[in-house]
């Protein structure tokens, strides 16, 4: 933390095994259910924030940010500026080591890195809870990227959201053999983003309240499976939670189908391969590109299966560490 109001932070994205899909408060980004995720190394976003600059400059992956994207970054900045009572402008630059629109949860890593960097640049002490809440206000899933390993975002009960933040349940070293393969079947932006999609599900799916209650009940079960490093039992929970989230998406009006034909192809092949001993399960966010949950011993076979079924790219991830400050500023 420097006197020159500048700081840089690095954060990993995360993949939810029990998912967040629906807000009870749009403004404060408060979820209807708790969610559970694993932080993903080596994928990461690096963000530098400097207060006291001239104007408001926001650069994402080498380009000036536009429209809604720029506005969301500046909202986070204004919250920190308000807390630290800082006048003047700001400069923000952010870059990821993975394509932002490949469905690899880049907004989670981006808002986590932004929150940690902005608080440090403003001279505020590092604080997991405050950083998680600040990240949540930018993008819900970002609340789970402040710490590494397994993170639990408790939905909370309070209207003001002060009890809705994520905390680490197990660190990155708890399960070193766990592997999560990011499978790119289709590049390019998804049609209906998570924000709009989950809103539609809350408002129109007749199954919404059943989904929210079920996800809440799955969280403690998933935590036990991770505690026991029981891949098969965790894989089953992750798959059924993904199917249920997508059932809610598909039952929205108009329907939301995030599966591409290739997604279904791979997911069916995975189920078949399990019958012949492949320890691998899938999960899927609001896009066509699944993650495969497997372990060190099966990662090669799982990756090959993904390529045989249309994967253009497979990135092998393992549990990553906490969001952290870095001395290597982007400007």
DSSP of 226-237: HHTT-HHHHHHH
Residue choice 5, 6, 10, 21 for contact with ligand DP6 (CB under 6 A)? 21
The 182-211 contact track toward ligand DP6, x by CB under 6 A, reads ------------xx----------------
Instruction: Decide if residue 16 touches ligand DP6 (CB under 6 A).
Output: yes
Task: Kindly determine how many residues on this chain lie close enough to bind ligand DP6 according to the rule CB under 6 A.
Answer: 14
- Token pair belonging to 287: 């896009």
The 92-111 contact track toward ligand DP6, x by CB under 6 A, reads ---------------x----
Strands (E), the chain: 6-11, 14-18, 23-25, 30-31, 35-41, 45-53, 56-60, 63-64, 89-96, 150-153, 166-170, 178-184, 281-283, 291-295, 313-319, 324-326
Least CB distance to ligand DP6 at residue 9 (A): 18
Least CB distance to ligand DP6 at residue 99 (A): 16
Residue choice 20, 165, 175, 281 for contact with ligand DP6 (CB under 6 A)? 20
Nearer to ligand DP6, 22 or 303 (CB): 22
Report the alpha-carbon distance of residue 279 to residue 307 in Å, rounded: 17
Residue 68 neighbours by CB distance under 10 Å: 10
Residue choice 35, 39, 94, 150 for contact with ligand DP6 (CB under 6 A)? 35
Residue choice 59, 239, 285, 322 for contact with ligand DP6 (CB under 6 A)? 285
DSSP of 168-198: EEE-TTS-TTEEEEEEESS-S--SS-HHHHH
Instruction: Decide if residue 29 touches ligand DP6 (CB under 6 A).
Output: yes
Instruction: Decide if residue 132 touches ligand DP6 (CB under 6 A).
Output: no
> Which stretch, 13-21, 79-87, 169-177, 221-229, contacts ligand DP6 (CB under 6 A)?
13-21
Instruction: Decide if residue 113 touches ligand DP6 (CB under 6 A).
Output: no
- Token pair belonging to 229: 């490093």
95 CB-near residues (< 8 Å, 6+ apart): 45, 46, 60, 61, 62, 330
How many residues are there in the chain?
A: 331
Nearer to ligand DP6, 141 or 294 (CB): 141
List interacting residues with ligand DP6 (CB under 6 A).
16, 19-21, 29, 35, 107, 139-141, 194-195, 285-286
């Amino acid at each position: 933390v420097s006197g020159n109001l500048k700081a840089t932070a690095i954060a990993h994205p995360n993949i939810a095994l029990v998912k967040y899909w629906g807000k009870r408060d749009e403004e404060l980004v408060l979820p209807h259910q708790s969610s559970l995720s694993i932080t993903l190394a080596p994928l990461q976003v690096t963000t530098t924030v400097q207060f006291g600059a001239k104007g408001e400059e926001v650069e994402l992956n080498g380009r000036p940010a536009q429209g809604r994207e720029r506005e969301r970054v500046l909202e986070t900045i204004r919250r920190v500026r308000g807390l630290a009572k800082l006048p003047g402008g700001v400069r923000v630059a952010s870059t990821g080591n993975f394509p932002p629109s490949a469905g690899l949860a880049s907004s989670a890593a981006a808002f986590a890195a932004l929150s940690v960097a902005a608080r440090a640049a403003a001279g505020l002490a590092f604080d997991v809870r405050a950083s998680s809440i600040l990240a949540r206000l930018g993008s819900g899933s970002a609340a789970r990227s402040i710490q590494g390993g397994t993170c639990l975002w408790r939905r909370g009960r309070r209207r003001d959201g002060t009890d809705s933040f994520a905390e680490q349940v197990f660190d990155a070293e708890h399960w070193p053999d766990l592997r999560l393969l990011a499978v790119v079947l289709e590049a390019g932006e998804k049609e209906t983003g998570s924000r709009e999609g989950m809103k539609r599900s809350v408002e129109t799916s007749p199954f919404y309240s059943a989904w929210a209650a079920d996800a809440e009940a799955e969280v403690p079960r998933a935590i036990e499976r991770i505690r026991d490093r029981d891949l098969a039992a965790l894989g089953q929970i992750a798959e059924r939670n993904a199917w249920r989230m997508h059932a809610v998406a598909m039952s929205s009006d108009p329907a939301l189908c995030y599966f591409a034909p290739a997604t279904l192809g791979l997911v069916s092949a995975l189920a078949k391969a399990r019958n012949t001993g492949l320890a691998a399960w899938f999960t899927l966010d609001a896009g066509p590109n699944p993650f495969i949950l497997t372990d060190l011993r099966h990662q090669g076979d799982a990756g090959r299966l993904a390529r045989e079924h249309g994967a253009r790219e497979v990135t092998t991830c393992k549990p990553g560490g906490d969001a952290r400050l870095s001395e290597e500023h982007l400007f």
